[in-house]
Chain A
C-alpha cells in the first residue's frame, strides 16, 4: 500500500497513530524521535513491501498528548491523565523540556492563575519559600528545607544538622544555599551549599575573624551576578556584620563589621543592587525595636546611605516598617507597614534627612485583622510590585504603583512568605503547610 515518504505510522501500546516526520522533527535530535529517524538506524527502507507500523511499548494516551504538543506547541492534559505519568512519558521520549516550555508562559503579575496547591507534612509554620530559576521551589520549615522541582516532585529534604533554618536561596537550578542558627556550644550552624536533587551537603562556608575560624549564625541571604554570596552573621564574640563569600572558590572574601548603634548582623533582608553596586541591608521590627535600613558599598567599606526610625514621632508606632525593598529604577526604597500601607524613601537624599512618604490607602483593612496575622512582605519583578498581606497578594504597577490585581485563595490562612522566579509565583501559607503555585495563563488561541 505504501505510505508517502513523509507519513509515519506508530503502534503505541496497541493504538495506531499516524503523523509526519515533519511533526516529529519538532522534537529535535536529542529526543527519542530524533535518534529513531537518524540515518544510522536505517529504519524502514522506502518502498518496503511489508512495511510494519513502528511499535513503541508505551502509554498511548500520553503519546497522544505529547504528539499534540509536537503538532501545536500547546499542552492540553485531559483530566484522566495523571500529571506524574505524563511527566514520566515525556522523560522517556526526551520531550520534558518541550513540556516545561508549553506548561506556562512568561511571568505577568496581572495574568496569573492558581495552578496547584501543594500540601506538605511538615509541622509548624513555614519560615521561607524561594522560587528556583527553572520553576522549582524550596520551602524552609523549622530545621529542614523541602525541595520541589518544576514538576512539583519533592526531592530529598535538606538540613544543616537540623539547626533552625533562617533563610534559603538558589545559586542555580542544581544548588541551594541554606543559612542556619548556630547551636549553643556546638560550633555548627552557619551556611551550607546543597545539591537540590539529592539534598547532599556539598560545601560548608566558614567565617574567619583575625585568621581564626569562628562559628556563627547566618541570617538573611543575597547573591550578586558576579558570583558572591552575602549573609548577615552573628558571631559568638560580638562579631556582627555582613559576610561575603565567593561562589566559585567558596572562600570568605570580605566582612563588613557592624558599627555601634547600628544593626547589620541581625538583618531580616539583604538585597544586592546591581546598578549601584551596593547591598541593601534591612533590620526591621520586631527583630529590633527600631528599623535600620542601609546601603553598603564593599569596594571602599562604606555605608553610602542609611535610614532609621529612631527618634520618630510617637505616632509612628502604627507605621512600623515590616519589609523593605529597593527599586533602583525609581531610586527609592519601598517599605510596608503592618496595615499594608506602602511607603517610599528617596534614595537620592541621605536617609537621615528624608522621611517615609506613606500612601495610606488601606485603612479599611485595620478593622478585619485575622486572628493570626502575618507580617507583610514585598517583592519586585520587572516593574511590578507585589505585597502580601494576610491571605492575599496585591499587585501594583506603573510609576504611581496602582493596585491592579489581587491574588487570593480561601484556605491555608495568612501568607507568611512568597517568592517569584522561573516565571512562577509561590505563596507559602502559615497554616496547613500549604503553598500555592501561580502561573501565567497561556496566550489566547488567536
Chain B
C-alpha cells in the first residue's frame, strides 16, 4: 500500500493522435452492404432504419463519403448483373413479366437504399457534384439490364412483336406493355427515344408502307380512307394506353405519311371512286373522311381543292356552253343554282365549311358563268320568270331565299351592267303589263342590288317604280276633270320619264280614231298640269281590252296589244284586208306588224282572224278576214304577242352595242377621276386602275380604255408627256 502511495502517480499524456478505428469504415460499410443485399433479396424486415441511417451518416461525417458512394455503386451493379442473368434466362412469354417484376423490385430497393443514404445524398454528393443516388440507380439499371447485350435487342423485338400482333388483331397484355414502356420513360427521355421510340417508329413506317400498298391495290378510295382512318385512331388509342403522350404526334405523322401523303394523288384520282366520283354521287361521308385525313398532311387539302376546282370548272363549262342547256334560260339558271346548292352542301357537311374551299367554289363559278356571254341576260330572265309567275304560293321567306341565291350568281358576273340593262327591260315589261306578282319581292331585289352595287345602279329602276305610282295619280286626276269620259273607251296612260326606262324608238302608228281622240284629251290635260314637258306615245308597249262579236254572236273580250288593237279595229269597217292595206292604214313597222298578225291569225285557239293562204308565216301578199267561227271556252281571251322570250340575234347585237355605248362615258369618267387625283400616270397604270375601279360593274376592255384615253386627249382633258410618250398628264 505504502509502496503504492509512494509511487509517483503520473497521468501520461496521449502519445498518439486520436484515431478512429482503422477498420471502422470497413466495418460500417459491411453492415450497410449486408443491408443492401437483404433489401435486394426481399429480406429487409429485420433491418433497423435508424441504425443504417446512422451508419451511413457516420461514414460521411468521418470523411468516408467516397467509400460509401463507390461501395453503393459496386454493390448495386453486382446485384443488377445477377438480375439481368435471371431475366435473360426467362423463357418466351415470361421474359417481359420477369423484367417487369425485377424492375419493380429494383425500384423498391432503390427507394430504400436512397433512404439509408439520404445524408450522403444531401451533403457529400451535393458538394462533390456527383450523380444523386436515385438517378444513379436508374443509370445502373439502364447500363446493366436494359443495355445488357442479351436483353437489349430481345426486349426491343419482344415489344415490337407485341405491337405487330396487336395491329393484326390479337389481344395483348396492355398493362404489362404499359409498365415496361413506363420503365423506358422513367429511365429518361433519351432512353425511351433511342431504345424504343425510334425503332418503333421505323417498324411502324415499314408496316404501313406495306399495308398501304396492299390496300391501294385492292380497295376503292372510300374503303381505303375508312381503313386509314381506323389505323389512325388505333395508333392514337395505342399511345393513350401504353406510350408516352409525346409519341402521338410522331406515330400519327408516320401513318399520315405512309397511308395518305404517299398515295395522295392516286387516291384523289382513283377511277370510279376518287374525289370526282364522290362529288358526283354525293358521298358526303367519304368526302368528310377525305377532308379530315388529307387535312393532316402537307398539301393534302390543296390537292383536294385543286381537283374539286378543276372538276367544277369542267362541269360548269359544259353546263354554260352546251347549246341545248342554254335554250331555256330559266332551266339554265336553275341548274346553276342547283349546282351551287349542291357544292355548298358538300363544303358545309363534308369540308367543315372550310373558307378556302368556299373561295375555290366562288372562283370556279365566277370562271364559268362568265364563259357564256348571255349569263347576265339569263339571270335577269330567271328573275323575270320568278317575279311574273313563279312566286305564287311561296312564302316571303322563301322568296328571299331565292332572291339571295340569284344575288349570289349576280355577284359572279363580270358584266353587271349588261345584267342591269336586261333587268331594266324585263322590269319595264313587267311593270307596264302589270304582270309583276309581288311588289315587295320586286323592291326587295332592288334593295339587294343597291347594297351590292350602290345607289347609281338602281336609281333608274327606282325611278320606274315612281313613274308607275305617279301615273296612277295622274289618271285619277284626268278622269276627275273629265267626268264625261265615263262613257266610251277607257284610256289608261302611264307616263314614263325618258331615261329611266329602256328607250325604244317611238314607233309611229296610227291609232283608231276613238282612241286618238282620247289621247289628245289626255295630252292637253297633262300638258296643262305640267309645263315644259313633251309627251310621245310608246304604242309598241301598250295593251288593250276590246269587245268583239263573232259570226254566230259569240261575245268575247280580247286582251291584245296596242298594235293588235289597231289591226283588229280595221275589221270594224271591212271584212277582208290585204297585208298592204293593213300596213298602210296602221303604219306599224313591218317586223312588229308581222309578229302582230302572226299572233292574231296563226296561234291555234286564239286565231280571231284568218289569213289566206293558210301558213305559219306572214307574207306580204297575204290577205286577212275575221274568223267568224272563232270559239273559246272563256269569255276573256288573251291574245299574246309572239314575244321573243330570249332576244333574237340582231336584238342581242343591239343590246350589246347599247351596253358598249353606255360603257364609254363610264370609262371616261373613271379615267378623269383617276387622273384628277394622280395628275401624271403611265399607260399601264391607268389601265390597271380603271379596270379596278370599274370591276364592280363590268370588266373594261383595255383597247376600249385606250380609245377613251385618246378621245379624252383629243378633247383636251389629258395630254401626253412631251418627253415620255407613255406618260399622261391631266389638264385642269
Contact = CB atoms under 8 A, between A and B. Distances in A.
Interface in B356-415: none
A38 B113 CA distance: 12
A30 interface: yes
B57 interface: yes
A237 interface: no
Contacts of A55: 50
A39 B115 CA distance: 12
A91 B53 contact: no
A203 to B, nearest CB: 14
B112 A92 contact: no
Contact of B50 (A36, A38, A94, A198): A36
A81 interface: no
Task: Report the contact-size class of chain B (Cβ under 8 Å from the partner).
Answer: 10 to 19
Contact of B115 (A38, A56, A57, A197): A38
B518 interface: no
A56 B118 contact: no
Interface string A4-42: 000000000000000000000000001110011010111
Contacts of A31: 118
Interface string A35-73: 110101111000000000011110000000000000000
Given A54-B50, A55-B50, A57-B54, A40 B115 contact: yes
B49 A42 contact: no
Nearest to A88: B61
Contacts of B53: 32, 35-36
Contacts of A94: 118-119, 122
A55 B49 CA distance: 10
Contacts of A30: 118
Nearest to A54: B50
Contacts, number: 41
Contact of B119 (A36, A42, A92): A92
B45 interface: yes
Contacts of B108: 40
A19 to B, nearest CB: 16
Contact of A42 (B45, B50, B116, B127): B45
Nearest to A29: B115
Contacts of A197: 127
Contacts of B57: 92
A29 to B, nearest CB: 9
Contacts of B123: 91
A145 to B, nearest CB: 18
Interface residues of A, number: 19
Contacts of B716: none
B617 interface: no
Nearest to B109: A40
Interface in A269-322: none
B595 to A, nearest CB: 86
A38 B45 CA distance: 13
Nearest to B54: A57
Contacts of A43: 49
Of B53, B54, B119, B127, most buried by chain A (CB within 10 Å of CB) is B53
B506 interface: no
Interface string B94-133: 0000000000000010011001101100110001000000
Contacts of A32: 53, 118
B122 A41 contact: no
Nearest to A41: B49
Given A40-B108, A91-B123, A92-B57, A35 B49 contact: yes
Contacts of B219: none
A423 to B, nearest CB: 22
A57 B115 CA distance: 17
Contacts of B112: 40-41
A52 to B, nearest CB: 11
B480 to A, nearest CB: 86
A38 B393 CA distance: 84
Contacts of B116: 35
B669 interface: no
Nearest to B121: A30
A197 B126 CA distance: 10
Contacts of B74: none
A417 B182 CA distance: 55
B50 A56 contact: yes
A40 B47 CA distance: 11
Interface in A185-227: 197-198
B582 to A, nearest CB: 98
A328 B108 CA distance: 54
A198 B129 CA distance: 12
B433 to A, nearest CB: 80
A91 B58 CA distance: 12
A41 B115 contact: yes
A18 B116 CA distance: 24
B49 to A, nearest CB: 4
B82 to A, nearest CB: 21
A419 to B, nearest CB: 25
Contacts of A40: 44, 108, 111-112, 115
Interface in B23-51: 44-45, 47, 49-50
A91 to B, nearest CB: 7
A375 B443 CA distance: 92
Nearest to A43: B49
B111 to A, nearest CB: 6
A94 B115 CA distance: 11
A40 B104 CA distance: 13
A153 to B, nearest CB: 13
Contact of B127 (A36, A41, A56, A198): A198
B45 A36 contact: no
Given A91-B123, A197-B127, A41 B47 contact: yes
Nearest to A10: B50
A362 B49 CA distance: 64
A35 B50 CA distance: 10
B171 to A, nearest CB: 34
A94 B56 CA distance: 14
Contacts of A56: 50
Contacts of A41: 44, 47, 49, 112, 115
Contacts of B54: 57
B119 A35 contact: no
Contacts of A54: 50
Nearest to B126: A197
A55 B53 CA distance: 12
A196 to B, nearest CB: 10
Interface string B599-634: 000000000000000000000000000000000000
Of B47, B54, B57, B115, most buried by chain A (CB within 10 Å of CB) is B115
Contacts of B119: 91-92, 94
B59 to A, nearest CB: 13
B52 to A, nearest CB: 9
A94 B53 CA distance: 11
B520 to A, nearest CB: 92
A14 B139 CA distance: 42
B118 A36 contact: no
Contacts of B44: 40-41
B236 to A, nearest CB: 36
Contacts of A57: 50, 54
A181 B54 CA distance: 48
Of B49, B111, B116, B119, most buried by chain A (CB within 10 Å of CB) is B49
19 contacts: A32-B118, A35-B49, A36-B49, A36-B50, A36-B53, A38-B111, A40-B108, A40-B111, A40-B112, A40-B115, A41-B44, A41-B47, A41-B115, A54-B50, A55-B50, A91-B122, A92-B57, A94-B118, A197-B127
* Among all A-B residue pairs, the 8 with the closest Cβ atoms: A35-B115, A41-B49, A40-B112, A197-B127, A36-B49, A56-B50, A57-B54, A92-B57
Given A54-B50, A56-B50, A94-B122, 9 more contacts: A36-B49, A38-B111, A40-B44, A41-B44, A42-B45, A55-B50, A57-B50, A92-B57, A94-B119
Interface of B: 44-45, 47, 49-50, 53-54, 57, 108, 111-112, 115-116, 118-119, 122-123, 127
